[in-house]
Structure 1
């Protein structure tokens, strides 16, 4: 897996990029900053704008003080940090309504108290916690990987089972090759994101997106299939629970989601134990089984005769090789999760990856060898691991311990996906290929949106397949080995481009890994196409197309909203009127429109507010008939006719649509004027009371949202309590 000398031959890596909450707020480019300076120098504002009528440091900001000036009582919602900076306390972040406070208490009960952004480094995992958390998927696959290989070989009869040893040897070569490749990947790309980052950087963006699509499908399938398999193990032991298989699977997914929403460190401490229990149980099984085999001189037991249903061929051998390669799902987990390690991140990640691959090889080889020596044959009613445990431990508590450990590790193997997929989505969101909400860190510094998305997709699959997701297993190899192939091909280009010490040796190693991974990929895609692999073959290009569409949208938004674009589209010239997209206050002309249904206190407060702004104002009344319109005009005249009034007759009693059409017509008549519609609103105390009042503002905003230069807002009037 590499030596210290290998590390010295390579150049010093770039410092690791920390996953930071600040990624949601990318900095402006130098060109945008220069454009801001040019725009700012032409601003002209009245001095009253900066003469604030309130003190920003009002008493609510500061902690209560006694007569001596010393602080007393709990801190207020804000605390002065630096001149011009306030720090929000937990009190400021809590809801200020009864439902908001209740939701906050429930959230704290389920997830724990919020963590400050500065705690991101403390949430890292030590190696002994990261090993079981990131390897649960990889190590649990030895429970079904050897059996998948032997099940294919059995099609050619029990005589073909002897090929399991040379195929296993080839798989060990593939495991070590891919493991060494990912060690080099971790070192060359210490920020994480694994296959996506390597393929994007060394081959091209579309290759990176294809690798990401394969990994996304693999992670979602990992959760749904692992949980369903674990629940199946439980219901097999307790058949009375079989009708509850789907609810149990959903409950496990919910448990995994809740644990990971509590943060990386908490989830690691909670879900590490099942993996260590499984590791100890299987290592004990292999050790005792080899001891028993040594006592009889390692003489293999002949397997039960099984007739062939198809001839032995190269294609069958390749299918067995591809099926056994499912034991490698999860080997890329460390490269995707480098930022969760404690410093030095890349070094600790490489150490854990070495342990993972070493343990995988030992368990895979040991179980395959023991299955061969004991002459075991795949059966429908019992797994090979269960048969082997029965044969090795016919009496005592060890057999049920192994079964319990296997069920637990299958249930919680999905935790690897909960660790890796949100971080993959984070890096893709940083590159604008998926929604930027995946950049957001939740209260506990976990990528909440990514976690919830993963849980929702996995739960949907479990429900859609009724908890029987075995038909999804053939899809595994296609997605994950697509990522392996692109990652290692990308590393070949990486070494060719940088040409450091020993680059030819490294490139050859990655080239062999890419070739072997491509063989598995093509074999799985061809031989399992009819079994469901066609879904992945179609889903990958569809996902890549969606990623590119998202990126195109974000590029368009960035170009349209850039300060440089504002300067180019609307050259600022002081004193010259421009359209409402102008970026200088002296260029903006206003027209305020106030819809008035009746002259009550809400309408009068709105008219007073708009009139105080000193801008042109027009009142609009929509009436269902002329008689009511005349009556309203009499009321308007009695008030004093201080603001121009326009009345719209709507004989079919429709209100919002004619009002929206009228506002759009005003805007078309003067494209250089910003039309601001201020709607009087009555604010009620209880949510149920909202249905008793019209929501005119929201409906009007939806009706005119596509028209530039129209602003819809409201003037609230609160009912007395």
Structure 2
């Protein structure tokens, strides 16, 4: 992406947060009455300083991780497995709440403009999540002017609103308009100010997005990413500070029936076209911000699945090259959270800060360790920036965890603890299964020659160095024979011609058992392996030379981690080239003695069986391996 496109696409989450971050801060301060509102400017100034510090620290992350440095990767690389999982827990919580909070704030913008829809806010929000689910399952991506337009429209609307508000304030000599009388419901104290600070700091969510997506930029990627991050931080600071300033000068207070932005637009524009434009742009960018989580949540979940901390089905892409299972899970969890909190932004905000700043803290701590180990040019300056960012993030994390614990932060803390428990148990299970499946030296007696099975029906057009009935080249074997589709007329054993296809993902005891079963049928055998790239293909070839080189091998490359589609395409081509053959597809299957772990293992056989069902004379069988 060019910087002009990357800026709105990757900044939508961060910039849209000014629609609810300042309001969340003011909603806490107003509890202390007029005295509490007097702290709005100092608290906002502290948040602006935090934005600048975190932005500078993420510039160092982009330089150190030019291929993308999310919190999970940085923390895992530099701090270890458990901190990496904690960072992932913070990210996952952040993404779920990004959808819920953005939808809630977007619906609030709509209901502020059309109050008659307020009673249907939950239904509207759920419908929006369903639309996002359907669109992302269809493979919609954030790219180009379609996704850039809402963010630019929102920035223009906010800049215009701030300019008009400050212009009116200048006409009054920058004297604030007195706000309505406010009765204090809580005493003004350090805890209330810290709560306001933690609520307002939610305006920083989404800052990490650019450091995650460095490879998406045009060359030089890291330099363009840093420039884009600088522009994003600059815009975020201007919008956040500007909104706080005009709120201060216009004397507006948070209200449950109407958002602060809507009140500001009403004061400055009335109910005319500019008011409608402001509300429409706000709702659009918030929905776009929710959609950014649909790119990031499944990707982080796929990284966890790759590292055996999540079910491996989340590492699999769908036909639209999207992580469909992760998209569905995100929609379900975000929908449940949204409904449970009745779609109220104020109720969701206390959950938000914990996940966001847990990921920030661990990412910056990981970068401190990274620079200390590397010690390259300018490492001291980079370490200092990341250390400041990490300390400030930790302060916000602790503040949010303490001051908002009873308001809902405990839910996020419990979710993080539960996530850590589940992911470690999943990793322990996969390690146990891997140990049970691992091939040991001399544990299996390997055939000393190529298997030449006895076949009663001659196979025409097949060459072999040992037996004219055994194919040396399975592809040549498949290319010969009748071109037309034969009838399924085999009713006696002598009329059936077999060809066995063994699907092997990795060479382990389960795979060797499937190979042994196929060889025992005394029919021609072809082994098929699907690789996700040349590195994995090379690794498998090395294993194959040691353990399985007595059988012919066909490798299929699927760089998008799709397995079923390339297998079906290959088997279908084989079937059409030799319709006289009965193809027996043999797969190893892991059978768990404890059924609760069954969901952690693939259902490739069932999915392949459904996909191949329309083909004649194709049999799918599994060879179980019990663990």
Kindly tell me: are residues 188 and 230 of structure 1, through their superposed partners in 2, closer, same or farther at Cα, counting changes over 3 Å?
same
Kindly tell me: are residues 567 and 525 of structure 1, through their superposed partners in 2, closer, same or farther at Cα, counting changes over 3 Å?
same
TM-aligned CA deviation for residue 460 of structure 1: 3.5
Give the 5 Å matches for 1:50-89. Answer: none
Give the 5 Å matches for 1:548-567. Answer: 548-562=424-438, 565-567=439-441
Q: What residue is the counterpart of 1:225 in the other structure?
A: 101
Residue 207, structure 1, aligned to residue 94, structure 2: no
Q: What residue is the counterpart of 2:314 in the other structure?
A: 438
Which of 492, 500, 525 is the equivalent residue of 1:605?
492
Give the 5 Å matches for 1:316-335. Answer: 316-335=192-211
- Paired residue secondary structure (1:422): helix
Kindly tell me: are residues 197 and 126 of structure 1, through their superposed partners in 2, closer, same or farther at Cα, counting changes over 3 Å?
same
Q: Deviations over 1:345-392 (max 9, x none)?
A: 322222221111110000011111111122222223322222222222
Kindly tell me: are residues 478 and 717 of structure 1, through their superposed partners in 2, closer, same or farther at Cα, counting changes over 3 Å?
closer
TM-aligned CA deviation for residue 205 of structure 1: 1.3
Kindly tell me: are residues 465 and 171 of structure 1, through their superposed partners in 2, closer, same or farther at Cα, counting changes over 3 Å?
closer
Q: What residue is the counterpart of 2:149 in the other structure?
A: 273
Give the 5 Å matches for 1:237-316. Answer: 237-242=113-118, 244-261=120-137, 263=139, 268-316=144-192
Following the alignment from structure 1 to structure 2, what is the Cα–Cα distance between the partners of residues 201 and 612? 47
Kindly tell me: are residues 568 and 414 of structure 1, through their superposed partners in 2, closer, same or farther at Cα, counting changes over 3 Å?
farther
Q: What residue is the counterpart of 1:507 in the other structure?
A: 383
Contact 2:350 2:408 in 1 (8 A): yes
- Paired residue secondary structure (1:304): coil
Q: Deviations over 1:682-717 (max 9, x none)?
A: xxxxxxxxxxxxxxxxxxx9999869xxx9999999
Contact 2:24 2:349 in 1 (8 A): no
Q: What residue is the counterpart of 1:185 in the other structure?
A: 61
Following the alignment from structure 2 to structure 1, what is the Cα–Cα distance between the partners of residues 125 and 362? 33
Q: Show structure 2 runs of 5+ residues with no match.
A: 450-487, 501-512, 522-587, 595-604, 618-627
Kindly tell me: are residues 524 and 360 of structure 1, through their superposed partners in 2, closer, same or farther at Cα, counting changes over 3 Å?
same
Contact 2:30 2:184 in 1 (8 A): yes
Contact 2:87 2:359 in 1 (8 A): yes
Kindly tell me: are residues 312 and 247 of structure 1, through their superposed partners in 2, closer, same or farther at Cα, counting changes over 3 Å?
closer
TM-aligned CA deviation for residue 158 of structure 1: 0.8
Kindly tell me: are residues 232 and 376 of structure 1, through their superposed partners in 2, closer, same or farther at Cα, counting changes over 3 Å?
closer
Q: What residue is the counterpart of 1:487 in the other structure?
A: 363
TM-aligned CA deviation for residue 208 of structure 1: 0.9
Contact 2:22 2:243 in 1 (8 A): yes
TM-score, normalised on structure 2? 0.70
Contact 2:169 2:175 in 1 (8 A): yes
Following the alignment from structure 1 to structure 2, what is the Cα–Cα distance between the partners of residues 704 and 204? 32
Q: Show structure 1 runs of 5+ residues with no match.
A: 1-124, 576-600, 614-666, 677-700
Q: What residue is the counterpart of 1:374 in the other structure?
A: 250
Contact 1:135 1:416 in 2 (8 A): no
Q: What residue is the counterpart of 1:409 in the other structure?
A: 285
Aligned length: 489
TM-aligned CA deviation for residue 156 of structure 1: 1.9
Which of 34, 40, 43 is the equivalent residue of 1:158?
34
Greater C-alpha Rg: 1
Q: What residue is the counterpart of 2:420 in the other structure?
A: 544
CA RMSD after TM alignment: 3.8
TM-aligned CA deviation for residue 214 of structure 1: 0.8
Following the alignment from structure 1 to structure 2, what is the Cα–Cα distance between the partners of residues 253 and 271? 17
Contact 2:60 2:386 in 1 (8 A): no
Q: Deviations over 1:2-25 (max 9, x none)?
A: xxxxxxxxxxxxxxxxxxxxxxxx
Kindly tell me: are residues 421 and 348 of structure 1, through their superposed partners in 2, closer, same or farther at Cα, counting changes over 3 Å?
farther
Following the alignment from structure 1 to structure 2, what is the Cα–Cα distance between the partners of residues 176 and 300? 27
Following the alignment from structure 2 to structure 1, what is the Cα–Cα distance between the partners of residues 260 and 358? 28
Q: Deviations over 1:460-511 (max 9, x none)?
A: 4344555456522210000111001111111111111112233223222222
- Paired residue secondary structure (1:157): helix
Q: What residue is the counterpart of 1:456 in the other structure?
A: 332
TM-aligned CA deviation for residue 312 of structure 1: 1.8
Residue 365, structure 1, aligned to residue 241, structure 2: yes
Q: Deviations over 1:143-164 (max 9, x none)?
A: 1111211221222221231211
Following the alignment from structure 1 to structure 2, what is the Cα–Cα distance between the partners of residues 421 and 536? 16
TM-score, normalised on structure 1? 0.61
- Paired residue secondary structure (2:251): coil
TM-aligned CA deviation for residue 403 of structure 1: 1.7
Give the 5 Å matches for 1:30-109. Answer: none
Kindly tell me: are residues 199 and 610 of structure 1, through their superposed partners in 2, closer, same or farther at Cα, counting changes over 3 Å?
same
Following the alignment from structure 1 to structure 2, what is the Cα–Cα distance between the partners of residues 501 and 347? 17
Q: What residue is the counterpart of 1:570 in the other structure?
A: 444
